[in-house]
């Protein structure tokens, strides 16, 4: 009598390859969230020293994830576009930052000329600030190993009167382009080369859509093939054009662990399977897979509420 074949064991959950997919999730998430931090900093920072330190820190973090691919990437934050690019050069940090400083001064709207029209008693104390760029709206911070520079570039030579009109337009529309086009460069010296990350805009950048100040949910995209958490308000949706990656941040009630577990419990019914990852690869989170795509679910405390982050990586 022939022996019956031993039933095959059920397949084990697919293991997410170390350094390939789960780490890719982390890199994409940080890349997008730090771009969000830079844009939101434009709206929320007011103290000059804080602007410098925050912009330097954002550049530092972007540089850590700047090898996602060659060329410029269009990053959309709640639908608003930022362009981000990364490269290396033999030029020292000074030369890299000086190059943008020249461009920023050439597009400062005639603010430097305005100072020279003032009486000498008023112009004299302002000249050091013009020389440093501070009076022209140029933010620069630099050390031996790293540095950043940023400005809002615009055409024309209207001086402070035109600047006041642009600020009024920004107040009415929330569009940063009313004031100028964002120009930001971070440079870090590594061995004999300088790693450069650039962020800039060429079109409208409606800050109110990126960082709503009235608590209203901003415009944005929902996760593909996955629901939003129960009772959630979306804070951010971010993506890289042409890449199958996206990050979604949701404000939810309750503790982060409970919020993540409640969300994870809903996914199998929608075709998502748990993906086993090595301990420590995905701290405070869960990973699911479906049709070649990965979904990383992470929770973090936010006062008496939580933020649940959904990171999508892979084609769907």
Q: In what order do the strands lie in the sheet with 73-77?
A: 139-142, 146-153, 181-190, 193-200, 80-89, 73-77, 233-240, 245-253, 305-313, 293-302, 285-290, 273-274
- List the beta bridge partners of residue 245: 313
In a domain, 243, yes or no: yes
Do 145 and 170 belong together in one domain? yes
pLDDT number for residue 301: 87
**149 and 51 fall within a common domain:** yes
Q: What is the mean pLDDT of residues 111-124?
A: 83
Main-chain phi, psi angles of 148, to 5 degrees: -145, 155
Give yes or no: residues 205 and 243 share one domain.
no
- Residue ending a domain, among 167, 188, 210, is 210
Q: Which residues contact 40 (CB under 8 A, 6 or more apart)?
A: 207, 210, 211
Residues 253 and 176 in one domain: no
Q: Ranked by mean pLDDT, which of 135-149, 235-249, 250-264, 301-315 comes out on top? A: 250-264
Tokens, residue 249: 């941040």
Q: For the residues 132-156, what does the mean pLDDT come to?
A: 86
Burial class (CB in 10 A: 0-12, 13-18, 19+), 105: middle
d(CA 204, CA 188): 29
Q: What is the DSSP string of 236-255?
A: EEEEETTSSEEEEEEEEES-
Neighbours of 11 (CB within 10 A): 7
The domain tally of the chain equals 2
Residue 294 has pLDDT above 60, yes or no: yes
Confidence of residue 213 (pLDDT cuts 50, 70, 90): low
Last residue of a domain, one of 165, 187, 210: 210
> How far apart are alpha carbons 205 and 174 in whole angstroms?
8
DSSP 8-state class, residue 193? E
pLDDT at 53: 58
Domain match, 197 and 228 both: no
Residue with structure tokens 């050439």? 106
Residue 25 has pLDDT above 50, yes or no: no
Q: Which domain holds residue 149?
A: 23-210
Q: Are residues 45 and 161 in the same domain?
A: yes
- Of 305, 313, 311, the closest CA to residue 232 belongs to 305
Same domain assignment for residues 206 and 230: no
Alpha helices in the chain (DSSP H): 22-44, 48-64, 93-106, 111-116, 120-132, 159-173, 207-210, 256-266
Query: Is residue 204 located within the same domain as residue 120?
Result: yes
27 in any annotated domain: yes
User: Do 146 and 35 share a domain, yes or no?
Assistant: yes
In a domain, 186, yes or no: yes
Residue 194, in any domain of the structure: yes
User: Which pLDDT belongs to residue 218?
Assistant: 85
**Quick one: 290 and 189 in the same domain?**
no
pLDDT band at 4 (very low <50, low <70, confident <90, very high): very low
DSSP annotation of 86: E
Give the domain-ending residue among 179, 210, 241. Answer: 210
Which tens digit of pLDDT belongs to each residue from 173-197? 888 888 888 888 889 998 889 988 8
**Residue 97, pLDDT above cutoff 90:** yes
């Amino acid at each position: 009598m022939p022996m019956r074949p031993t039933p095959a064991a059920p397949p084990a959950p697919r293991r997410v390859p170390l350094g390939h997919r789960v780490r890719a999730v982390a890199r994409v998430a940080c890349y997008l969230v730090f771009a969000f931090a830079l844009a939101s900093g434009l709206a929320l920072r007011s103290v000059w020293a804080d602007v410098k330190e925050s912009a330097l820190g954002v550049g530092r973090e972007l540089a850590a994830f700047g090898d996602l691919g060659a060329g410029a990437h269009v990053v959309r934050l709640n639908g608003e576009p930022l362009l981000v690019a990364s490269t290396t050069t033999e030029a020292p940090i000074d030369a890299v930052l000086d190059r943008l400083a020249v461009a920023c001064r050439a597009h400062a709207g005639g603010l430097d000329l305005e100072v020279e029209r003032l009486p000498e008693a008023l112009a004299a104390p302002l000249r050091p600030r013009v020389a440093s760029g501070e009076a022209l709206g140029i933010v620069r911070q630099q050390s031996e190993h790293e540095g950043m520079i940023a400005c809002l570039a615009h055409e024309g030579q209207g001086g402070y009167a035109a600047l006041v009109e642009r600020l009024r337009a920004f107040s009415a529309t929330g569009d940063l382009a009313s004031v100028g086009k964002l120009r930001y460069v971070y440079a870090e010296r590594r061995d004999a080369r300088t790693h450069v990350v650039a962020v800039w805009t060429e079109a409208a950048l409606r800050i109110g859509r990126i960082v709503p100040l009235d608590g209203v949910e901003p415009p944005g995209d929902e996760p593909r093939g996955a629901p939003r958490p129960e009772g959630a308000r979306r804070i951010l949706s971010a993506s890289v054009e042409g890449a199958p990656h996206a990050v979604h941040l949701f404000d939810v009630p309750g503790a982060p662990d409970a919020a993540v577990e409640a969300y994870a419990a809903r996914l199998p019914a929608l075709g998502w399977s748990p993906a086993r990852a090595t301990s420590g690869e995905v701290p405070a989170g869960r990973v699911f897979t479906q049709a070649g795509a990965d979904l990383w679910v992470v929770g973090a405390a936010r006062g008496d509420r939580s933020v649940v982050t959904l990171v999508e990586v892979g084609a769907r």
